[in-house]
Copies of this chain bind each other. A is one copy, B any other.
Amino acid sequence: MNKLWGNYPELTEELLQVKQIIKKNIRSREKYLQEAISPMIDSGGKMLRPAFVLLAGRFGKYDPKRMRQLAAAIEMLHVATLVHDDILDDSKFRRGIETVQYRYGKEYAVYIGDFLFCQCFCMLSEYEYTMESLKKISKSISSICLGEIRQYHFRYIKDINFRNYLRIISGKTAALFAISFFAGAKEGKCSDKICNLLTKVGYHMGIAFQIIDDILDYNGDMDTLGKSVQSDLKKGYYTLPLIYALEADRENRISNILEKPVLTEEDIAEVGRLVHAYGGCKKAGQMAARYTQKAFSYIERLPENGSKKIIRETASRLLERDY
């Protein structure tokens, strides 16, 4: 399990069980299907979203079986979006293993993503979660799609500002973080007040998380930087560090590079250097800290319990992470 949860053995144990539930639900008579999906589940990401479901659930009445099923369904949804994202990004690797689209082709990947989407809804309907949760979960996925569509729409637009960037990542990342907290709380029959607070915690953590992800892309050594930023820049995805650097760059040094019809590796390295030189990463880091602070302020208003402590520590860790 991811090092993020190393200090919480109970949560780690539950997340392992969530993984088992996911694996049970991708079993199919079609062996090749299982073979395509399993490695992704095994390689394991941070399991943030299912952890959020479980942590939020602990603020209410906790039925472990139902809560884990819900957590598994939400992680499955996340994996579905990753499979489809990899098609668009033409990614070869994720979590250190070959992506479905690279290994089996984009065709397979479209349907494997769809299959995971459906299995998620099958799992949700099996346990008869509240319609309110189902509705919000569906809406969140719509938001994620809209976020991705927006991101695609804003490619190569150099004056995409913070507001548009925020709209993109609100859908892409924050919506699923928020729904994870909400669904856990709702399933735990928490009061509307607690449900709302936890949703806001998730939303603000999600924004901070995505900004940091985007900063980390600019942070590795030049080699790593090459790989991740290269692909984003070539595809015209301009993230917050670059957006801030573009605003500060009155001589249009970055703009002039980006306008080239083809970007060489040297061009991209230069953009990376300029983004740092114009303080793009620093300023983006401040914005991430602001959103984390905002998340803290909502966390503080939650009733005291062990779960609250873990959420607070996780928000801190995610802000300071370098992975």
Contacts and interface: CB of A to CB of B under 8 A. Distances in A.
A30 interface: yes
A126 B142 CA distance: 14
A124 B126 CA distance: 15
Interface string A170-197: 0000000000000000000000000000
A146 B88 contact: no
B121 A152 contact: no
Contacts of A217: none
Contacts of A113: 110, 114
B111 A84 contact: yes
Interface of A is mostly: helix
Number of copies of this kind of chain in the complex: 2
Interface residues of A, number: 41
Contact of A135 (B30, B122, B141): B122
Contacts of A106: 87, 106
Interface in A134-163: 134-135, 137-139, 141-142, 145-146, 148-150, 152-153
A262 interface: no
Interface of A: 28, 30, 32-33, 81, 84, 87-88, 106-108, 110-115, 117-119, 121-122, 124-126, 128, 131, 134-135, 137-139, 141-142, 145-146, 148-150, 152-153
